[in-house]
Homo-oligomer: A and B are copies of this chain.
Amino acid sequence: MSSHDNPRKPETNVNDQFVSRWSPRSFDANQSVEPSQLQSLFEAAKWAPSCFNEQPWRFFAAAKPSAKFEAFLQALVEKNQGWAKNSGALVFVACTQTFKRNDKPNAWAEFDTGAAWMSLALQAQSMGLHVHAMAGFDADKAKAVLGGDVDQLKLIAAVAVGKKSEPSVGEYASEAPNDRFSLAEFCKIYE
């Protein structure tokens, strides 16, 4: 088995898109990501459900080559810069923190933004792209790059978007999709 075959084994019937999606580090530095592709990713995210249809998710993207991509890259922790530099685009995922209707804190903003992020990831996969979300970024640096656009927002994650390199190539040649808990460990169906 090559290192990019998928070792995951679902326990029961499930659509393959969930099992085959994973987050590689081995992006192909020669492949670009077009603005129109990024738009399709955000279009998928857009239709996620949210509390009161608040749509708290916000996305900021920069494709390579551009000064903004380099600035986004510099806002990542050094270890992530090492592989994310080979992606075709970087995205910062943020959320609003209060409801438009009453300015009260939105306790579901991050949960709902996670739903939008999952749609983005599955859309990417359907387009032959891979995405890899990172908690490892410097929020102050990211805010400096994004400026006034994120004044009222909470920055949650950075996402690398790109084409995966050939399995045998580079530092991450041995990486493979990671495993999960069994169903019994995270869900309970009462009798």
Least CB separation from A132: chain B residue:
B49
- Count of interface residues, chain A, beta-carbon cutoff 8 Å: 69
Say how far A37's CB is from chain B's closest CB, in angstroms: 9
0 or 1 for each of A124-153: is its CB under 8 Å from B? (1 = yes)? 001000000101000000000000010000
Q: Which of A36-76 contact B (CB under 8 A)?
A: 36, 38-40, 42-49, 51, 53, 55, 57-63, 66, 68
Asked whether A162 is an interface residue with its Cβ less than 8 Å from the other chain, the reply is no
A186 near B55 with CB under 8 A, answer yes
State the 10 A-B residue pairs at the shortest beta-carbon distance, nearest first. A114-B114, A118-B118, A115-B118, A59-B187, A111-B114, A68-B190, A14-B43, A110-B110, A42-B187, A18-B47
Bitwise, A144-188 to B at CB < 8 A (1) or not (0) is 000001000000110000000000000000000010110100111
For this chain, the copies found in one complex come to 2
At the interface, yes or no: A81 with Cβ under 8 Å from chain B?
A: no
A33–B191 CA distance with the chains assembled, in angstroms: 13
- In the bound assembly, the distance between CA atoms of A21 and B58 in angstroms comes to 20
CB of A19 within 8 A of chain B? Answer: yes
A115–B57 alpha-carbon span in the complex (Å): 13
Please report which residues of chain A, range 85-138, place their CB below 8 angstroms from some CB of chain B when the two chains form the complex: 107-108, 110-119, 121-123, 126, 133, 135
Q: How far is the CB of A125 from chain B (nearest CB, A)?
A: 9
Contact A187 B156, CB 8 Å, known A46-B180, A110-B114:
no
For A90, the closest partner residue in chain B by CB is B190
With A14-B47, A53-B180, A62-B189 known, 12 other A-B pairs at CB within 8 A are A12-B40, A13-B40, A14-B44, A45-B187, A49-B121, A58-B186, A59-B186, A66-B190, A112-B114, A114-B118, A115-B117, A116-B118
